[in-house]
Structure 1
Amino acid sequence: MAALGTDERRRRIVQAAREAGSVDVTELAAQLNVAKETVRRDLRVLEDHGLVRRTHGGAYPVESAGYETTLAHRTTMHVPEKRRIAAAAVELLGDAETVFVDEGFTPQLIAEALPTDRPLTVVTASLATASALARHEKTVVLLLGGRVRPGTLATVDHWTTQMLSGFVIDLAFIGANGISREHGLTTPDPAVGGVKAEAVRVARRLVFAGSHTKFGAVSFCRFASVGDLEAIVTSTALPAAEAHRYALLGPQVVRA
């Protein structure tokens, strides 16, 4: 295999990460016919450019304005962790009677863990969440209308935000593609960001739930600050020291 130029090699690393969901330094070195240290250096540069996040022995892709994982892909990544997070998030429901459930796999797991033995109204833009809850007799499901995004099977645009603007919601379970102390909660698509921002505006209480991989990641569109949150629910894979730094900005941080 002929040696690749630096730019082409790094492009292939990003492509591999996006296709597989993660990459391994040893495997990349063998595939690209370069030293492991060369791959590590490439990953450091790509992380500086906001394209990947490094892990011990590899990296995973960062979602951006030009790249976003599908709902189908998300259902295969960190599933046990996301189930723990969902269960812990539902513990924060309290006496809420109206709940907004965001699009995404972790919010969908939260919706499926909601109690079914009491009256509850759930507002969502997610077709998957609406379908999962519609069979429960005591759960009223309000599906926000709008343009359906094929990758996430969720509605967006002015129809969605206009309908949402007419509600006062007790508790919103919000997801994000990234959360950082400096830039807050972010997502790649402006249309999605608009729906999330409206949910933040109309909710009395706001809970972010997401895996440890979301922390420190920054995407294109900011829709909330960390200080807007009542609580952050994640897993013990987020170091306690980092969780404390987020707690200093206001929210309770729960590590499940």
Structure 2
Amino acid sequence: MLREIGLKKIDDDGLTKRQDAVIRAVRESGFASIESMAERLGVSAQTIRREVIELSRRNLLERYHGGAGLPPGTDRLAYTNRRVRHADEKRRVAAAVARDIPDNSSVFMDIGTTVEAVCEALVGHRGLRIITNHIVVASIFCENTDFEIVLAGGMVRNRDRAVTGEATAGFLRDFRVQYGVFGIGAIDHDGQMLDYDYRDVQVSLVAMEIARQRFVVVDGSKFHGDAMIRFAHVSEIDALYTDAAPPADIAEHLSAGGVRLVVENDSEM
């Protein structure tokens, strides 16, 4: 029997159950840390490292420091899959954010599929001035000719059309906006927000500095997620928009930081 993994089909007999579980963990978000997979599978980190090395040798995974990602050629597929995952939840969250951003505002829009949903919810606004480092975001906003759109320069990442890196961060330092809308990879139990790529974090940190109001958008799957790059603490933002009530430990950090929590789910619609 053949099973599809990424863009490859592999004989089931060619993978152990543990190797199959490692690949599934990586496919869920495009990256998984060694520690999170070890905890998930109930084995040591060294065991997971050996599996990752073997799967990398067979071109089924790409090895990174501290974890594993999808091999070249499959990451664009993973991004497409993320766009449709939790789509209804993202639309509800996006609608809540759009209600809190008035017409004629200046807004920085981050990268990420939930942020894209916010963009779609904002298209009907008037007079927005947008700064973004995401080609997809700029394209969405181009539907409204009343908007002024600034696309930051830098290196384009093919898989998700993000513009990222030091040049992008430097470009943003010349601006000041009323609102910043940010997507993240995870929120840890200590309130630390995390992401997957240090280049994205470089850009987001500068964008946090230039925004007077900082809104973070997440779906409930991001609570206690396994992203590995530290971004900022939840106490540094103004509002968190999500589709599910956060776990008690994260909720405590939000409350202590005076962060407005907006939960949009089916029961409230």
Bin for the TM-score computed over the shorter chain: 0.7 to 0.9
User: 1:27 maps to which residue?
Assistant: none
* Structure 1 stretches of 4+ moved >6 Å: 46-49
Deviations 1:68-109 (A, max 9, x none): 764312112111111111111112214671101111111011
User: 1:219 maps to which residue?
Assistant: 227
> C-alpha distance in 1, partners of 2:164/2:234?
23
The 5-angstrom pairing of residues 163-182 of structure 1 reads 163-182=171-190
Aligned-partner residue type, residue 245 of structure 1: E
What is the root-mean-square deviation of aligned Cα atoms in Å? 3.1
The structural deviation recorded for 1:21 is 6.6
> C-alpha distance in 2, partners of 1:132/1:171?
18
1:43 aligns with 2:40: yes
> C-alpha distance in 2, partners of 1:157/1:243?
29
> For the structure 1 residues 8 and 186, does the alpha-carbon distance in structure 2 shift closer, same or farther, using more than 3 Å as the test?
same
Is the 8 Å Cα contact of residues 127 and 146 (structure 2) preserved in structure 1? yes
1:244 aligns with 2:251: yes
Secondary structure in structure 2 of the residue aligned to 1:66: strand
Secondary structure in structure 2 of the residue aligned to 1:151: coil
User: 2:192 maps to which residue?
Assistant: 184
The structural deviation recorded for 1:216 is 1.2
Secondary structure in structure 1 of the residue aligned to 2:84: coil
User: 2:155 maps to which residue?
Assistant: 147
Secondary structure in structure 2 of the residue aligned to 1:82: helix
> For the structure 1 residues 96 and 117, does the alpha-carbon distance in structure 2 shift closer, same or farther, using more than 3 Å as the test?
closer
The structural deviation recorded for 1:181 is 4.2
- The partner residue of 2:98 within 90, 98, 116 is 90
User: 1:31 maps to which residue?
Assistant: none
User: 1:103 maps to which residue?
Assistant: 111
Q: Which moved more, 1:176-185 or 1:205-214?
A: 176-185
Paired residue total: 221
Identical pairs, percent: 25
Deviations 1:16-72 (A, max 9, x none): 3434679xxxxxxxxxxxxxxxxxx983527999x9xxxxxxxxxxx9763276431
The structural deviation recorded for 1:254 is 0.8
Q: What TM-score comes out, normalization by structure 2 length?
A: 0.72
Is the 8 Å Cα contact of residues 183 and 218 (structure 1) preserved in structure 2? no
> C-alpha distance in 1, partners of 2:207/2:125?
25
The structural deviation recorded for 1:117 is 4.4
> For the structure 1 residues 65 and 223, does the alpha-carbon distance in structure 2 shift closer, same or farther, using more than 3 Å as the test?
farther
User: 2:241 maps to which residue?
Assistant: 233
Aligned-partner residue type, residue 157 of structure 1: G
> C-alpha distance in 2, partners of 1:239/1:192?
24
Is the 8 Å Cα contact of residues 188 and 223 (structure 2) preserved in structure 1? yes
Q: What TM-score comes out, normalization by structure 1 length?
A: 0.75
> For the structure 1 residues 14 and 241, does the alpha-carbon distance in structure 2 shift closer, same or farther, using more than 3 Å as the test?
same
